[in-house]
Amino acid sequence: MSWPCPRAIARGTARFTGGEYRAEGMVRSDLWQLVGRVHHRPGVVRLTGSWTTADAGAVARAWAPRIGAIALAELIGGHARAEFDLTTHAAAPEHAVGRVTLSMSDLRLRLPEAPPDFAQAEMKQLQATLALAPAATEIADLRVRGEPFNLDGKARLTAGGHLRATGKAWLSRRASDRILDRTGWKWLLKLIGVRRLDTRFALEGPVSAPNL
């Protein structure tokens, strides 16, 4: 498997004290930068740091085929930053626990399967906090602001693949106006207080096909 970011540099320092190992360093490629610290003591490893990119779309295009991801949307540009604090045990390194905070801005989406009015979207802001545990991953404080899509929500994905997500979604005022114009009743809908289209939602079921 080829490395998707061939030009990368790394530097760091490490020290041993008794039975403990500490290291800190930085890896920088053409597309992203990772700064982190590792603290290893008998049986336990803690990782802290941050990952940043000024072109989230390019990173997604480079990595998606390598992890088998199916692209429902094309990501273009966008700044992204993830801060992490994770702890794992040597006996089960795949069961990391901890927290990841994600923020993105100025991202554009192309949605080839969407109706023409919604085939392109701007994501001005995305924020989320992930709490990782062996039993489940919790997504809290999910916030999306953009044109035309906006969302506030939270979700829980269990290790067995069961998803539950709840929240509120709405269209921007501009997108809502386009749809209301087509009804011929925009004046009446605004008279009774309908100025944007929004809904509350709940998804639950297998992550491959949850029920709305």
More confident residue, 129 or 210: 129
pLDDT band at 71 (very low <50, low <70, confident <90, very high): low
pLDDT band at 124 (very low <50, low <70, confident <90, very high): very high
With respect to residue 144, please indicate whether it lies within any of the assigned structural domains.
Answer: no
Q: Are 167 and 201 in contact (CB under 8 A)?
A: yes
Same domain, 202 and 99: no
More confident residue, 175 or 20: 20
- CA 12 centroid distance within chain: 28
pLDDT number for residue 139: 94
With respect to residue 175, please indicate whether it lies within any of the assigned structural domains.
Answer: yes
- Tokens representing 94? 């795949």
Range of the domain at 125: 1-134
Instruction: Read off φ and ψ for residue 62, nearest 5 degrees.
Output: -75, -40
pLDDT number for residue 62: 82
With respect to residue 95, please indicate whether it lies within any of the assigned structural domains.
Answer: yes
Same domain, 1 and 52: yes
Q: How far apart are CA 72 and CA 66, in angstroms?
A: 16
Same domain, 119 and 159: no
Same domain, 154 and 128: no
With respect to residue 77, please indicate whether it lies within any of the assigned structural domains.
Answer: yes
Q: Is the pLDDT of residue 2 over 60?
A: no
Same domain, 155 and 119: no
Q: How far apart are CA 204 and CA 210, in angstroms?
A: 5
Q: How far apart are CA 43 and CA 104, in angstroms?
A: 34
Q: Which of 2-16, 78-92, 189-203 has the highest mean pLDDT?
A: 78-92
Same domain, 159 and 83: no
With respect to residue 179, please indicate whether it lies within any of the assigned structural domains.
Answer: yes
With respect to residue 187, please indicate whether it lies within any of the assigned structural domains.
Answer: yes
pLDDT number for residue 129: 96
Amino acid at 67: I
With respect to residue 27, please indicate whether it lies within any of the assigned structural domains.
Answer: yes
Same domain, 36 and 97: yes
Same domain, 39 and 127: yes
Place of tokens 């269990």: 158
Can you list the pairs that 116-119 forms with residues at least 24 positions away whose Cβ atoms lie under 8 Å? 117/148, 117/175, 117/178, 118/148, 118/149, 118/175
Element (H, E) at 66: helix 56-67
More confident residue, 4 or 10: 10
- Of the residues 105, 134, 163, which one is the last residue of a structural domain? 134
Instruction: Read off φ and ψ for residue 60, nearest 5 degrees.
Output: -60, -40
Same domain, 130 and 154: no
User: How many domains are contained in the chain?
Assistant: 2
Place of tokens 């540009």: 77
